[in-house]
């Protein structure tokens, strides 16, 4: 259905707040195009905290599996990362589309280098994708009365329960399958 109840500005604000808390910085120091790792000093443990904070803020479940792992699960071992640990051509095509074609992303780079391309915008995109899966009707009572008193969490105006969104891993797999089909990847 989509979700007009949560604005792009609210998503950006909550992403900046979540990262600021996780990274012990002021929200104003979080540029949406900054590398979470290289520019903001984030670590892999910080990503867990950021994800948790965003899930709590919006009442969603973000992807907990990397897109590279989804590629390997969906299309077979070696399709994303070759035997030396380097990215394949098709994996780079997927990452470029998913991460906004960042400079420096290239075939042959090691898979553990990909995290440096994650930005607050990347996290906001995951939030937008989850929020866009808002069903037309409440899955609890069937009402079509969505509301968002705080501008972030959506609840049913009929029964008061929070919206049930599609989880981020399901959304990522669906996007990956469609993208790979459209581009003729992993054949």
Tokens for 100, please give them. Answer: 């906004």
Does residue 127 carry a pLDDT above 90?
Answer: yes
Strand (E) or helix (H) holding 146: strand 146-147
Give the C-alpha distances (Å, rounded to integers) separating 77 from 64, 109, 145, 175, 178. 19, 17, 45, 19, 19
Nearest to 70 by CA among 83, 58, 79: 79
Domain coordinates of the chain in residue numbers? 8-183
**Predicted confidence (pLDDT) per residue in 22-71, tens digit:** 999 999 999 999 999 999 999 999 999 999 999 999 999 999 999 999 99
Looking at 3.90.1150.10, 3.30.565.10, 3.40.640.10, 1.10.1200.10, the CATH number of the domain 8-183 comes to 1.10.1200.10
Amino acid 1: pLDDT: 59
Confidence of residue 3 (pLDDT cuts 50, 70, 90): confident
Q: Phi then psi for 92, rounded to 5 degrees?
A: -65, -40
| C-beta neighbour count of 121 within 10 angstroms | 15
Task: Note if the pTM is more than 0.85.
Answer: yes
**77-98 pLDDT, tens per residue?**
999 999 999 999 999 999 999 9
pLDDT computed for residue 168 by the predictor? 98
Given pLDDT bands bounded at 50, 70 and 90, which one contains residue 187?
A: confident
| Residue 138, pLDDT score | 97
For residue 2, what pLDDT is reported?
A: 72
Q: How many Cβ atoms are within 10 Å of 176's Cβ, its own excluded?
A: 21
d(Cα 157, Cα 128) in Å, to the nearest integer?
A: 22
Residue with tokens 């607050």: 120
Cβ–Cβ < 8 Å for 122, 40: no
């Amino acid at each position: 259905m989509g979700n007009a109840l949560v604005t792009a500005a609210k998503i950006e604000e909550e992403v900046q707040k979540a990262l600021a808390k996780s990274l012990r910085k002021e929200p104003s120091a979080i540029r949406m195009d900054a590398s979470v790792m290289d520019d903001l000093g984030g670590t892999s443990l910080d990503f867990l905290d950021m994800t948790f904070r965003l899930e709590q803020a919006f009442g969603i479940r973000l992807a907990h599996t990397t897109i590279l792992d989804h590629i390997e699960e969906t299309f077979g071992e070696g399709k994303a990362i070759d035997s030396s640990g380097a990215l394949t051509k098709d994996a780079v095509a997927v990452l470029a589309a998913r991460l906004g074609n960042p400079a420096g992303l290239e075939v042959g780079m090691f898979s553990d280098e990909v995290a440096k391309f994650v930005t607050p915008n990347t996290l906001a995109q995951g939030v937008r994708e989850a929020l866009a899966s808002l069903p037309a009707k409440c899955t609890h009572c069937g009402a079509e009365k969505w509301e968002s008193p705080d501008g972030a969490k959506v609840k049913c105006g009929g029964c008061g329960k929070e919206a049930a969104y599609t989880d981020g891993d399901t959304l990522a797999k669906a996007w990956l399958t469609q993208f790979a089909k459209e581009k003729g990847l992993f054949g």
